[in-house]
Structure 1
């Protein structure tokens, strides 16, 4: 295990995808609105998810240079999507958006962690 990513591209790609997700979440399309409503996340708190994603982007990019930051951030991103998956399961909101969006992002973030830091 290394403190900076062995391969920088997967980490940068995850950061780019999270940035896109955060930007789209500013005025969320129906897909995201349905997910947040489906798990019962209050609309007045939706802004917090944008902040979390932007902080994750900053941490992943900083981790390309500073030891430990990217690893810790990548682990936090995996934990974030584990919590999102739990929220979906608990709310019994497990339609195609759960499988595609939530579990897809969990798989991507876990794969980036494995390829970039654990290989």
Structure 2
């Protein structure tokens, strides 16, 4: 087993980057499901902008990582950490409805699957 510094297959991190970028753009004027999720976990509204920046930077890191060794691996690791903390926030707030199971844990599972599939040979 060895770490791959460029993803193979490349399209999995590319899909994750697209999903994160779309999520960030939606979060600029959050639809009801995003608003309810952030409010439900008690995330301060004054800090919602930070999540947009985090998601855009994560998406950019995944895209840059398609051609620059190690960057994508670092980015997907950061995305996994982000969704682990989001899961913790949901559990702590006891906000474990559909948004938690589908959105949060779904993205965590997808991110976790990318690590061994695309970055561990």
TM-score, normalization: structure 2?
0.96
- Once residues 55 and 41 of structure 1 are traced to their aligned partners in structure 2, the CA distance between those partners, rounded to angstroms, is 20
Residue aligning to 1:70:
72
* Deviation at residue 45 of structure 1 after TM alignment: 0.5
Q: How many aligned positions are there?
A: 119
* Deviation at residue 38 of structure 1 after TM alignment: 0.7
Once the two structures are superposed, residues 29-56 of structure 1 have per-residue CA deviations (whole angstroms, 9 ceiling, x without a partner) of: 1101111001100111100000000000
Runs of 4+ aligned residues of structure 1 deviating over 3 Å after TM superposition are: none
TM-score, normalization: structure 1?
0.97
Structural RMSD (CA)? 0.7
- Once residues 78 and 31 of structure 1 are traced to their aligned partners in structure 2, the CA distance between those partners, rounded to angstroms, is 21
- Once residues 10 and 115 of structure 1 are traced to their aligned partners in structure 2, the CA distance between those partners, rounded to angstroms, is 9
* Deviation at residue 114 of structure 1 after TM alignment: 1.8
SS of 1:105 mapped into structure 2: helix
- 2:101 corresponds to 1:105: no
- Once residues 54 and 40 of structure 1 are traced to their aligned partners in structure 2, the CA distance between those partners, rounded to angstroms, is 22
The one of 43, 68, 71 aligned to 1:41 = 43
Once the two structures are superposed, residues 73-97 of structure 1 have per-residue CA deviations (whole angstroms, 9 ceiling, x without a partner) of: 0000000000000000001100111
Q: Write the mapping of 1:10-21 to structure 2, written as runs, cut at 5 A.
A: 10-21=12-23
The one of 83, 86, 105 aligned to 1:84 = 86
SS of 2:28 mapped into structure 1: coil
Residue aligning to 2:26:
24
* Deviation at residue 98 of structure 1 after TM alignment: 0.4
